[in-house]
Amino acid sequence: MNKNYLRREGLAGLLGLSAAAALLLASCGDNAEVLPRQLPDYYPLSVGSYRIYDVTDTTWRNNVPTASHFQFREQVLAAPEPDAAGQPVYQVVRSRRATAAEAWRPDSVLTVTVVPLNVTEQFNNRRTVALVLPAVEGKSWSYHAFNSNYNASDGQDSASVVTRFYEQVGKPLSIVRNGKTYDFANTVTTINDLKTGSNNNATKLIVQRTTFAPGVGPVYRVSRSYKNDCSGAEGCRVPFVRYLGQSRNQVLIESGN
């Protein structure tokens, strides 16, 4: 895995280059024709589009889990508006309900910017780099590239550290949820667990991963943050004990326009 990828070819994407940066030279010579590179759309957005996720939240206390279940709907209700650089920014409205029989209630708003070489998400005033295109196995980048003052004291990735990776590029994904199987023939996964050095050690374990399907969008999200029991005289427990922590996983169960 080459963690200097940003220096060689990915930095331009993170800085939001114009569409010209994604052009591919189709031929050589004085009359060379420049054609746009056709990249898979891993985060399609359009007015009226929506995705519904089945969500499981789990809280850990003294290695004992307590789980809750609900649904999220992410929906684009209006046309995108340009940001300061003229790039289209979509507002993705998130609603929540406890069961499919209940009405949706407003929850939060996620803003998503899609440009030729990257996709960024902004939530709670924090902008993160969700994707860097094209997706290549082992490619890496900084998840917090736009957060120069980000505080990494809690073990999260900092703006100056390469902390996001691609794996399972072009692989199928099958998930069973509530007795139903959801199959996605072609996916890519972004991941930062077990590969980010200081983020995972004997005292804590932090996992963040998202799987995308072209033409569909995010289909599976996982986030976990655990602290080990290090109160004993001999130090942290081995094997790892989820003394305190939280986890959430989201499975796409429906999408449309």
Q: What is the pLDDT of residue 28?
A: 33
Model's pTM, two decimal places?
Answer: 0.81
147-184, pLDDT tens digit by residue?
A: 766 655 444 555 567 778 999 999 999 999 999 999 99
CA 131 – CA 135 distance, rounded (Å): 8
- Checking if the pLDDT of 141 tops 70, the result is yes
180-229, pLDDT tens digit by residue?
A: 999 999 999 999 855 444 567 889 888 899 999 999 999 999 999 999 99
Measured CA distances, 235 to 202, 231, 239, 243 (Å): 9, 7, 12, 13
Phi, psi of 232 (to 5 degrees): -75, 165
Question: Number of structural domains, the chain?
Answer: 1
Q: Within 13 Å, how many C-alpha atoms sit on residue 31's CB side?
A: 0
User: Stretch 4-30: mean pLDDT, rounded?
Assistant: 36
Q: What is the pLDDT of residue 4?
A: 42
CA 142 – CA 14 distance, rounded (Å): 9
Structural domain of 131: 5-256
